Amino acid sequence: MRSPIATTLLDSIRTRRARAGVIGLGYVGLPLAVELSRAGFTTTGIDLDSEKVRAINAGRSYIDDVPSRHVSELRAANRLRASTNFDVVAQLDTLNICVPTPLRKTKDPDLSFIVAATEAVAMRLHPGMLIVLESTTYPGTTDELVLPILQSTGLKAGSDFFLAFSPERIDPGNQKFQTRNVPKVVGGVSSDCTQLATALYEGAIETVVPVSSPRVAEMVKLLENTFRAVNIGLINEIALMCDRLGIDVWEVVRAAATKPFGFMPFHPGPGLGGHCIPVDPFYLSWKARQSGFEARFIELAGAVNSAMPHHVLSLIADALNTLQLSVNGSRVLVAGVSYKRDVDDIRESPALDLLGLLQARGADLAYSDPHVPHLSGAMWPSGSDLTSVDLEAVAPGTYDCVVIVTEHSKFDYEQIQRIGKTVVDTRNAIKNPGAHVMRLGAPRTSRSAASELAPVAV
């Protein structure tokens, strides 16, 4: 290493004497803070949400992927604590920034959280400090935005302090791949920066993958999620095509997946959700436009995916038509409002868009989700506060239509078929569907058959 300060910090990291910090204690920050603590670093989490801070300091986790016993054990060992006060940054040697990066309504990146966090760090920056940005963003953010703010202090990156980017790769609810065993990509603004960030992660993560620059690391994250978004857009368009052709897209995907090379199965659905896949491609296309490049392929996939809630609305209308009912005034229950199976995260969930569309059409709405007991009206368009319905307590035929948006394992799909006079299954969750079940991307049931076999309200 060229810098004496870097050499000292590297030794401190490798011997676990370095004091680690994490800004942002959500789905990314808390698991990282826990892994750093379990690796032997004394770690301080920083978040403006006092409820999160109180929970951690009380030894409790508020994230399903982080067991409370891990937090409790680390608190008892005095290796993990949390604070709402950014002044603790001055006491730290390493700092990971894991704050949200949402999109504005115009689909432009909102970097206000990164700017606020970086400015707070700059006020307390000291020589011999490593800062790693993990928030998903466009290529160039670390160099063009974070670096100038930190260097405005008079300290120089690569010699006085050290800066790198390492994209988060969290997959909430994934039982196989979690923070510790998902490879970590790292790109620093200098070779010393990369080496120091690599050393920090090697203490807590099984595999670290250094790359040549922060821009490469930033682009890695966007490529990963744009790859998924584009392929989901493709299979959603194939599903729409199969709907017109009377072909079952789910059967097509199953058969195509038997090919042992050159094919990776993706599945259609009601739209994209979560903190990454619906957002990241827009970061990439926005940055491309700044360079005079039009990312038409990516934006087309985004348009297809964004339109899926509207397609589901049309399926609901068709299902209700088999009962000679309109959406207006019909009792409709949305089964699953989180963005993916068996998690409680509702960020960007297509269910929220669908609820807004149904509300606008005059439906009498309800929802059920074992992971989301209450849904604030502020979370969905023109919404009102709702409480999850216990499906086991619902009588047969209570709802004119039940729409399966998220295929939670806790759902009783036989019960769902009983309580809905019609059912729209957007996830192919029902394995033995009755004639009153309409599946996204599958041949429509005849109107007469659905009318004859639909449950009757009691």
Percentage of the chain modeled with pLDDT above 70: 97
Q: Is the pLDDT of residue 458 over 80?
A: no
DSSP assignments along 332-369, one per residue? EEEE--SSSTT----TT-HHHHHHHHHHHTT-EEEEE-
Stretch 101-117: mean pLDDT, rounded? 87
pLDDT at residue 448, as a whole number = 37
pLDDT at 455: 43
User: What is the pLDDT confidence band of residue 398, given thresholds at 50, 70 and 90?
Assistant: very high
Which CA distances in Å does 229 have to 223, 279, 301, 390, 415?
Answer: 10, 9, 7, 33, 32
- Interval 300-319 mean pLDDT: 95
Q: Residue 450 has what pLDDT?
A: 41
pLDDT at 41 over 60: yes
Alpha helices by DSSP H, listed for 278-343, are 280-290, 296-321
Q: Measure CA 357 to chain center.
A: 22
Instruction: Please enumerate in sequence order all residues whose Cβ is within 8 A of that of 416, keeping only pairs 6 or more positions apart, or say none.
Output: 335, 391, 402, 404, 423, 430
Model confidence band, residue 456 (pLDDT cutoffs 50, 70, 90): very low
**Which domains, from first to last, does the chain contain?**
4-212 (3.40.50.720), 302-453 (3.40.50.720)
Q: Average pLDDT, stretch 81-87? A: 97
Tell me the pLDDT band of 447, cut-offs 50, 70 and 90. very low
Task: Please state, in angstroms and rounded to a whole number, the distance separating the CA atoms of residues 345 and 436.
Answer: 30
Annotation says 98 is catalytic: no
- The encoded tokens of residue 184 equal 């970590």
Location of structure tokens 């960030």: 197
- Spatial CB neighbours of 54, under 8 Å, sequence gap ≥ 6: none
- Give dist(CA 110, CA 255) in Å, integer: 42
Half-sphere exposure of 374 (CA within 13 A, CB side): 3
Mean pLDDT (the chain, rounded): 93
Q: Reply yes or no on whether the pLDDT at 457 is more than 70.
A: no
Tokens of 271: 């739209």
Using CA atoms, how far residue 414 sits from 276, 417, 424, 433, 435, in Å, is 33, 5, 14, 9, 13
Nearest to 383 by CA among 416, 349, 401, 357: 357
Higher pLDDT, 171 or 316: 316
Would you say the pTM of this structure is higher than 0.85?
yes
In this prediction, residue 104 has a pLDDT band, given cuts at 50, 70 and 90, of confident
DSSP state of 147: H
Q: Are 30 and 66 in contact (CB under 8 A)?
A: yes
Query: Is residue 249 a contact partner of residue 239, using CB atoms and an 8 Å limit?
Result: yes
Q: Residue 306's closest CA among 266, 269, 360? A: 269
Q: Answer for the pair 399, 393: CB distance below 8 angstroms, yes or no.
A: no
Range name among 104-118, 130-144, 366-380, 410-424 with the lowest pLDDT average: 104-118
Give the pLDDT mean for 54-82. Answer: 96
Given this model, what pLDDT does residue 275 score? 73
Residue 40, number of CB atoms within 10 A of its CB: 15
Checking if the pLDDT of 1 tops 70, the result is no
pLDDT one-digit tens code per residue, 220-254 = 999 999 999 999 999 999 999 999 999 999 999 99
Choose the weakest-confidence range: 101-115, 181-195, 349-363.
Answer: 101-115
Say whether pLDDT at 315 is over 50: yes
pLDDT > 80? residue 453: no
For residue 235 the two structure tokens come to 């299979």
Residue 69 has which token pair? Answer: 């016993």
Q: Over the Cα atoms of the chain, what is R_g?
A: 24
Q: How many other CB atoms are there within 10 angstroms of residue 58's CB atom?
A: 12
Kindly state the tokens that stand for 134: 């993990």
Specify whether the CB–CB gap between 367 and 388 falls below 8 A. yes
Q: What is the mean pLDDT of residues 324-341?
A: 97
Per-residue pLDDT at 415 exceeds 90: yes
Query: What is the rounded average pLDDT of the residues 171-188?
Result: 92
pLDDT on residue 375: 96
Q: Check whether 301 has a pLDDT greater than 70.
A: yes
Rounded Cα distance, 372 and 325, in Å:
29
> Could you say which of 98, 193, 242, 276 is catalytic?
276
pLDDT at 445: 58
Q: Where are the strands (E) in 120-225, listed by range?
A: 129-133, 161-165, 184-188, 208-210
Q: Answer yes or no: is pLDDT of 283 > 70.
A: yes
**Region 47-61 average pLDDT:** 97
